[in-house]
Structure 1
Amino acid sequence: MAAPDKAQQLEEAAKAAEHAAQTAEAAAANASGNAEAATAAAEHARMIADQLAVIASASPISDFVFLLTIFMLAIFVGYYVVWSVTPALHTPLMAVTNAISSVVIVGALIALGADLSQSANSFAPKLFGFLAVALASVNIFGGFLVTQRMLAMYKKKER
């Protein structure tokens, strides 16, 4: 009687393993589709930025308007790229966002330490550098807290 029960358990385990494999294949296909969509969006944004550069060189658009336009396009591209990510990839995405924020902090620290004594507006770049350091620090520490909390959801609970 023990042998049929064991055979039945093995069969159920094999079915569960097959189901898990199918689920993993579906998740991998979904992730590659999202990566392709993000790549296409980035290529489209690069094409728009190139067209804007050609327009800016041909017309007397101010640098501020040009950079503001690129910033607004980056907001839209970022929004669509982030919202097309599957929930299973949000934790790695947060880790990459933390890495990007650390690069922002390096640039902001360079802006804070720059010698601006010859500039008429020497206070404004230092103020913006300080604000960039403060906001990027909040983003990094908050991102680490969110990432840690999300990873804790995957740990087995102790009884």
Structure 2
Amino acid sequence: MDGIALLTVLVLAGFAGYEVISKVSSTLHTPLMSGSNAISGIVLVGTVVVAGQATSPVLLAVALVAVALASINLVGGFVVTDRMLQMFRRPAAKAGGSGGSGSDGDGKEPAA
């Protein structure tokens, strides 16, 4: 494909992606983030495969930059998803003097 066709596909994919994501309800954003993290993981695997098959130092350098950027994207996605999930957690019970709650004060249930 020539450059104009590739640019056209990129622009159309961008518009289609924006329209699809903007129609997702707020309650589905967390599962959507999980799905995008899975896709980012697949992209990272692809960049590692490409880096392993590089035949010249320039291609290897570009592939290693791609691996680094894909890794940053994947880790950032998990950090953002974790922050979103923390918004839905119940507040931890305050450690009181009763001692009969079965909790050791750290907000976690005791191990069985």
> What TM-score, normalized to structure 1?
0.53
User: Given the alignment, which residue of 13, 22, 46 partners 1:107?
Assistant: 46
CA contact (8 A) 1:101 1:140 kept: yes
Length, aligned pairs only:
93
| 1:139 alignment partner in structure 2 | 73
* 1:44-123 matches, cutoff 5 A: 63-116=2-55, 122-123=56-57
Q: CA RMSD in A?
A: 1.7
Q: Distance in 2 between matches of 1:127 and 1:115?
A: 9
Larger Rg: 1
Q: Distance in 2 between matches of 1:66 and 1:132?
A: 23
- Structure 1 residues 83 and 153 mapped into 2: Cα distance closer, same or farther (>3 Å)? same
Aligned AA (1:139): N
- Structure 1 residues 81 and 128 mapped into 2: Cα distance closer, same or farther (>3 Å)? farther
Q: Distance in 2 between matches of 1:79 and 1:131?
A: 27
Runs of 4 or more, structure 1, over 4 Å off, are none
Which ranges of structure 2 fall in alignment gaps of 5 or more residues?
Answer: 94-112
Give identity over the alignment, percent. 45
Which ranges of structure 1 fall in alignment gaps of 5 or more residues?
Answer: 1-61, 117-121
Aligned AA (2:33): M
> What TM-score, normalized to structure 2?
0.72
Query: What do the CA deviations read for 1:6-48 (whole angstroms, capped 9, x no partner)?
Result: xxxxxxxxxxxxxxxxxxxxxxxxxxxxxxxxxxxxxxxxxxx
User: Given the alignment, which residue of 82, 91, 99 partners 1:148?
Assistant: 82
Q: Distance in 1 between matches of 2:7 and 2:79?
A: 32
| 1:128 alignment partner in structure 2 | 62
